[in-house]
Chains A and B, each alone.
Chain A
Amino acid sequence: MKIDNIETNELLEMYKKIQDFLDFLGKQEKEYNKEK
């Protein structure tokens, strides 16, 4: 999948999804670093 071929509105949705996922990963990282 090439970024250039994705429509702008879809790319923006994708960006939002990635950001949500990164936020999720950040929370997990914080939580399990505490538990160590």
Chain B
Amino acid sequence: MAEAKSIKEFYEKIEIEKEVLSTMPKNNNKNINKYLEKIEELQKEYLELKKNIEKNLDKRYKKAINIAENKEVTNLEIRVKTIESILTLIDEEKTSYEKMGLDRIIYKIRKFYKDNLENVNTQIEIAIRKFAEVGINLSTADFNYSIFVEQYMKVFFKERKKDNSNVLKTKFEEVYWKCPDIITHIELNLRNIYLQKQTIIDKYYENEKQKLLKQWNKTPKEIMNSYFDLKSQKINAINKDKKILLDKFLTGKLNINDYTRRKSTKKL
């Protein structure tokens, strides 16, 4: 039979082969032998074709998985992350309270204290470090909102370097039994420290902002525009990157059937 010129023709060819087979006489041994000979001939032909397709698919697969990720994407990611790390500092709408992250720290203390005391202590530790970062070194003396906070923080400062301190845990239980509002007291104490030292904190973040703007030689608005521009460049680069697209298909995040010619024509 002549070689098919298109996929459609190829499928038609298979249907014709089936048709031919069905019309062949099989009423005696001689005819059955002829029929089996024809089957053997077809099996040879199509097995050969199947092997060729396998080889070809294997070649395509090897070529595809060897695609390296476009360096442009990595480059853009680094540039976007660099700007992201300074966005909070240059944001003119954010207060020093937010820039320090005290809003998030207090939210986490309030949210997690019932399930996880460790997390509360971690957040207190982060708050202490944030104050240190702006040049304010806190000690037990700063935690004087109530006698209960004083008692707890005294032990906290002694035990803060130890992991899972049982002494601290016992102290918390003891204080909590006497004052179930201890978490609110800690929260109010942290807010109070911030308010007392706000001038120093504001000055620190203003200086940091000015240093950055000088270093970048841009206004905050220009930096924001560069950020949006780079983000959009990054999205475009990711959408065009062969390696990323291939990984998405291999991990099932994208489905090859959504991108067949028939489907895309239908959508249009």
Chain A interface (Cβ within 8 Å of chain B)?
A: 1, 3-4, 6-15, 17-19, 21-22, 24-26, 28-29, 32-33, 35-36
Bound: A10/B256 CA distance, A: 11
**In the complex the two chains form, is A14's CB within 8 Å of B53's CB?**
yes
Interface size on B, residues (CB 8 A): 35
What B residues does A4 contact at CB under 8 A? 56
Bound: A6/B8 CA distance, A: 12
Bound: A11/B7 CA distance, A: 9
Bound: A16/B132 CA distance, A: 67
**In the complex the two chains form, is B26's CB within 8 Å of A21's CB?**
no
What B residues does A11 contact at CB under 8 A? 53, 56-57
Which residue from A8, A18, A35 sits with its C-beta under 8 Å from B49?
Answer: A18
Which residue from B7, B17, B47 sits with its C-beta under 8 Å from A10?
Answer: B7
What B residues does A29 contact at CB under 8 A? 36, 39-40, 43
Closest beta carbon of chain B to A18's beta carbon, Å = 5
Other A-B pairs, 16, CB within 8 Å; known A17-B10, A32-B26 = A1-B3, A1-B7, A6-B7, A10-B7, A11-B56, A14-B10, A14-B53, A18-B14, A18-B46, A18-B50, A21-B42, A24-B18, A26-B43, A28-B21, A29-B39, A35-B26
B11 at the interface (CB under 8 A from A): yes
Bound: A27/B4 CA distance, A: 25
Which residue from B6, B14, B56 sits with its C-beta under 8 Å from A21?
Answer: B14
Nearest residue in A to B52 (C-beta to C-beta)? A3
The majority secondary structure among interface residues of chain A is helix
What A residues does B56 contact at CB under 8 A? 3-4, 11
Bound: A33/B42 CA distance, A: 16
What A residues does B60 contact at CB under 8 A? 8
Bound: A34/B60 CA distance, A: 41
**In the complex the two chains form, is B10's CB within 8 Å of A33's CB?**
no
**In the complex the two chains form, is A1's CB within 8 Å of B53's CB?**
no
| Given A3-B56, A10-B7, A28-B50 contact (CB < 8 Å) | no
